[in-house]
Amino acid sequence: MTTESIADPPLGAVPPHFTELMWPALPGVVDEITAAIRTLIPAYDRPDESTYHRIMTLGVETLVRGFIVRVGDPSAPSIERNATARALGHFEAVEGRSLDELNAAFRVALRICWHRTAEAAWREHIPAGVIAAMAETMIDYVDEVSEQTVIGYRSAQARADLARKDARKALLAAILQQGRPVPGDAEFRTLALAADWVVPAQVTPVVVAAGTKFTRSALDPDVLAETDSYQPCLLVPGKAGPARLAMLSAVLEDAPSVIGCTVPIDQTPDALRWARRVLALSEARVIGEDGAVPPLTRCDDHLVTVLLTSDASMTRYLAGRHLAPLRDLSPATRQRAIDTLREWVTSRGSAVEVADRLGVHPQTVRYRLRQMEDLVGEQLKDPTSRFVLELTLRAAYLQRRP
């Protein structure tokens, strides 16, 4: 027994009058396809007079027409078909859907077209080999159309992502603009809508060291980010709780960073400024130990330091004024006296406790404190002067720490 190799007949083997039979059936087939799609796929079930329905009907008609043209002339250009398929893919992206519904609609259309083609072929006594070739041609045609819809879909997504990214950058810039009435600003609300961002009551800014490499894919979708600036920052809606901290750790890894104070959204510029100051103090080794800038430092833990280091010239002036009685001491003696006074004033500890903190003998501390009593005793008696002296000592210590 021998077997013959059976090849699919070329498309040219379709009888010339076959496409002539398909053209008159086009309107009925289009109506049948659109009706079936509306019945089987709820997303496409819209009123007859709606723009939505007109777009679907035009798309079905163009693609079915393109198939008939393809059957009659395999070399015919597919420009209109491809443009329609891409437009349908674009439409799905704009509607916020995946391509699942559109692919389901193609399957519905394929089934109906095949049934009507098979019926016509049977009536016209078309050979089985030609019918088989027609079936494969239909499948290939739908595959090609699907590829074009993916192109249109991805193109729309890319444009939408770019527009959304631009809107989010503009939105973040608006939030960070000092003095802007953000919550009630119509322009701001328009930006938030374009950025697909739900405006929260409070936000937490996060500042990051320059040159940080971000894992952007780990960012929560609602976090606004400026990662290309020489002063990178993030804006987290609400508080930075455990889940947000885990996200930030994934995004920033061990990069030096500061989590700002959680504030109403119109106070974001202030919170951002404080956080950047804490980052600068960390980099200057005023904050932190061993010269290392810690990741995810909380600004809330260092606000007093920010306040005390906000004006170096004022600190020098206060030190010159309130510590003037110590100027006649030798530099080394003066510094030891200041350190002892600072520890005592700020800790309110006993001579033993102060000595332990300074690493000296308690009797040494007592001696120094008696000396300070003689020199600045009046300031220590007055509550206001004592408070100013404490601030001055703390600020002077922070200023010379590096």
Q: What tokens does 246 get?
A: 């885990």
Output 342 or 300, whichever has higher pLDDT. Answer: 300
Mean pLDDT for all residues in the chain? 82
What pLDDT shows up at residue 380?
66
pTM of the model: 0.56
CB atoms closer than 10 angstroms to residue 267: 14
Domain ranges of the chain: 11-161, 200-308, 312-400
Distances (CA, A) of 124 to 20, 121, 194: 12, 5, 57
pLDDT in tens, 92-146: 887 878 999 999 999 999 999 999 988 888 888 888 888 888 888 899 999 999 9
The answer for 359, left when phi > 0, alpha when psi is -120 to 50, beta otherwise, is left
Closest CA to 312 of 232, 251, 392: 392
What pLDDT shows up at residue 402?
43
Topology of the domain comprising 11-161: Globin-like (1.10.490)
Residue pair 123/116 in contact (Cβ under 8 Å)? The answer is no
Residue pair 67/134 in contact (Cβ under 8 Å)? The answer is no
CB atoms closer than 10 angstroms to residue 247: 17
CATH number assigned to the domain covering 312-400: 1.10.10.2840
